[in-house]
Amino acid sequence: MTTIPQRQGPAEPEPEVLFCNVCNQSVPESAVREGRAVRLPSGVAPALGGAGAAGAARDSALRGAIVVAVVVVLAALVGAALFLESRIARSQQASLDAVVDLQRTVGRQEERLVQFEERFGLVASERGIGEVRRALDATAAEARDETRQVGEAVDALVGKLEELRRTLGEIAAGQVQGQARAALLQDELRAITRDLAELRAMPRVMVAEPSPRPDVSAPAPPVVPEAGGDEALPPQLLHQVGRLGDADAGARFEAVDELLRSGDARVLAHVLPLAKDPDPFVRRLVLEGLGGFRSRESVEALLTALADPEEIVRFTAYASLKAVTGQSLPFDPEAREDQRASMQRRWRRWWDENRDSF
């Protein structure tokens, strides 16, 4: 705003006692009386209009200043409004996010409360709590009883297992002792047969007449058929072949033992018939030796021997049969006769199916 010219009069200039809020200048009080300024509560402001070109210029300048001031104020207001709107929008978004989180938290708490009510709905009263406690006490007592019973059963089972282990140990020890006694008996029998052979080879004047055999009803030993190719056997083996028909069981036992020890497959045809010898020791020795000869004839003789009346002979036949065939079909030499016959038929069926490829 331009400076308002002051009138010159004859008197002294009036003191400047007022201040224009528009043009930021001092205004004399006479300008208010003359209508060139307007009194406001906070000061004075120039009045619009005036005389002459000076008044028009002054008014135009005043309007421009007012417009500029209004524009500046409006711009400041718009900026402040935009700033406040942005702050309000951010505050609203933060409030909305907080409300959503609060709703989620409240939802989770409500779900927990529902679960709590479902779990403890049956015990909402003191009576219900008492019933549940009694039920829990009864269940705990039953569990303790069952645990005690299970512990007693386990202890009894452990005792039975210990007793069974001791029994098996005794059986194993008895079996070892039995095998040892059988081996000693076999060695003694061989020694006796050798002694008998030496006595038989002495002159008759030095040998007493043998006493009659106590078992006169025993069948005579089988006659060994002549087999072709005997001429190729060594003389000592031919001698033993001739002794296979001896009436004395000890002589036959010794002859079989010598022939089997040779390992010559040509002696098999001479030894096989003695698998049915009247003496069980001779039969057992023959069947034991057949375990070292893989042939169809050996298998046939061993299968037949599974029905031998002597348990030791059946046991030896089964062991040699497994060694020759490589099979482990079950057979219990100590089982009942009908059970042994069933297991023997099973072995027969296997042999009928595999004889041609053996």
**Domain 232-354 coded CATH 1.10.510.10:** no
CA 212 to chain centre: 74
Q: What is the pLDDT of residues 229-253, one digit of tens each?
A: 445 788 989 999 999 999 999 999 9
User: Token match 């282990």: residue?
Assistant: 165
Residue 347, pLDDT > 90, answer yes
User: What pLDDT is stored for residue 132 in this prediction?
Assistant: 75
When pLDDT is cut at 50, 70 and 90, the band that residue 343 belongs to is very high
User: What pLDDT is stored for residue 225 in this prediction?
Assistant: 40
User: What pLDDT is stored for residue 257 in this prediction?
Assistant: 93
Q: CA 246, CA 221: separation in Å to the nearest integer? A: 7
Residue 352: CB atoms within 10 A of its CB come to 9
Q: What is the mean pLDDT of residues 281-287?
A: 94
Residue 247 and residue 299 in contact, taking contact as beta carbons nearer than 8 Å: no
Residue 266 DSSP class: G
* SS3 state of residue 121: helix
User: Token match 């120039």: residue?
Assistant: 46
Residue 108, pLDDT > 80, answer yes
Residue 262 and residue 281 in contact, taking contact as beta carbons nearer than 8 Å: no
Q: What is the pLDDT of residues 170-229, one digit of tens each?
A: 787 667 666 656 665 665 666 676 666 666 655 543 333 443 333 433 443 444 444 444
Region(s) of the chain under CATH 1.25.10.10: 232-354
52 in the Ramachandran plot: left (φ > 0), alpha (ψ -120 to 50) or beta?
Answer: left
Q: Residues of the chain with pLDDT > 90: what percent?
A: 30
Residue 35, pLDDT > 80, answer no
Taking the CA atoms of residue 325, residue 330, residue 336 and residue 339 in that order, the dihedral angle to the nearest 10 degrees is -100
Q: What is the mean pLDDT of residues 258-275?
A: 92
